[in-house]
Each structure stands twice: as C-alpha cells, then as structure tokens.
Amino acid sequence: MDKRVLSAAFGAAVAAVLAVTASASATASAGNVLTTGSPTGPAVASGDVLSASLASGSQAKIVTTQGGSSGITCNSSAFTATANSNPTAPGTATETVTAHTLSNCTTNISGATGVQSITVNNLPFAAAVTSGGALTVSAGAAGPIQTTLKINTILGVTTCVYRAGSLTATPSNTDNSLTFANQHFTKYSGPSTCPANGYFSAKYGPVRDTSQTGSPVVFVN
C-alpha cells in the first residue's frame, strides 16, 4: 500500500477515535444543576432534603442600616429545603424551603435589652437555583416572606414584623456554601421603636443532602 494512503487511513482512524472519546467525555461531564459529592457527582433527587447551618466561625446579622453596626447578631441559624426539580445543567433547579431558624441572638439596638425570639413566618417558601447564577427565595402559598422579632426592653417585650419581596443568595462550590448579603426587609408592623428597615446577612455551609448516605455536600453547576 502506498505510504500516503496508509498515512491518510491512520489519520482518519485517529480522528475517529478522538471524536468518539470527545463525545464520551461530553456525555460523562453532562450533569444536573445540583449534584452531590462533586460537580460531576450523582444528581440530587427530587424529594431529597438539603440543609445547612451557619458556616464555621460566622454569624447571622440583621442590621438597621445597610453597612451599619446597630442591630441583631445570631450565633445559631439553619435552614432546611426539599428538592423539587433538578434538570440537566445549564438550567434552573427548584426547591421548597421548609424551615429557617435563628437563635442565640443578642442586640445593641438602642433601648433594647435582649432578643426574646426571631420567628420566620409563612413557610414554606419557594426557591430556585440557576446554573452559574444565584439562589432566589420567593413567597409561597402561605404568604409573603416575613420575620417576627420579639425584642426585650425595660418596658417589656416589643414585637416587630418585617417583610421582604424576595431573598437572593450566592452559592459557592469552593466550600459548598450559600451567602446572603444585605437582604432588605421593611417594617410591616410594630411600634415606632421598631427600626424601619432590616438588612439580613449570613453564610450557610456546607450545604448537604441529608437524604443520601453520608450526607454528601451539594454542588451547583
């Protein structure tokens, strides 16, 4: 056989092998928006429970002015959500936020002596996670996103209710976290001693799929 023909045949064979390999690699790397263990790990299944507490060394804060220092600081906070849909990436996965707690809180708001409780109302909320984007929390069927603060004062307990249209968090695959920064709440009800605004910030992580064996960490793709 002519060397040129042999060389061409060999080149064609190599090209075919490379094409098959590339196709197989693309198929293997195609994953879902939410995966466990790694970006190419198993998909989070519909109905799986995802949860996280505050990231190590962090606190949840509600300040009365954006970037301010007056407000409430909580040393304990956690959320739980249930996965609903989880399409192939890129796409948008949906969840239902079923619980969100804040506790072990202190305050330096003028006139306040302590925090009796913080309650997140109108759960469950809806949540959507977009590939390469953010997690957005919006109101569910029970009503708007609402938080009730009971603040201790020298005159008794003051109840302040706040609402937000939506909340946005930034996911990170570096430490499998979700970060809320300066999410704006406005006062819905309460006396004039309740601040007019609240800005919520917190970092949660690692987020884990507690329905799977070993509670693997969750990645957003």
Determine how β-strand 135-138 pairs with β-strand 166-172. antiparallel
Note the pLDDT of residue 30.
55
- Which residues are CB-contacts of 39 (< 8 A; sequence separation ≥ 6)? 31, 173, 219, 221
- DSSP, res 46: T
Q: pLDDT in tens for each of the 221 residues of the chain?
A: 444 433 444 444 333 333 333 333 333 345 999 999 999 999 999 999 999 999 999 999 999 999 999 999 999 999 999 999 999 999 999 999 999 999 999 999 999 999 999 999 999 999 999 999 999 999 999 999 999 999 999 999 999 999 999 999 999 999 999 999 999 999 999 999 999 999 999 999 999 999 999 999 999 99
Instruction: Write out the H or E segment, with its range, that includes residue 27.
Output: helix 3-29
- DSSP, res 54: B
**Residue 55: other Cβ atoms inside 10 A:** 19
| Cα-based distances in Å from 97 to 50, 80, 137 | 9, 6, 8
As a whole number of angstroms, the distance between CA 73 and CA 78 comes to: 14
As a whole number of angstroms, the distance between CA 78 and CA 71 comes to: 19
As a whole number of angstroms, the distance between CA 43 and CA 76 comes to: 29
| Cα-based distances in Å from 75 to 4, 13, 56, 79 | 74, 63, 10, 14
pTM here is: 0.85
Burial (CB count <10 Å: 0-12, 13-18, 19+), residue 72: buried
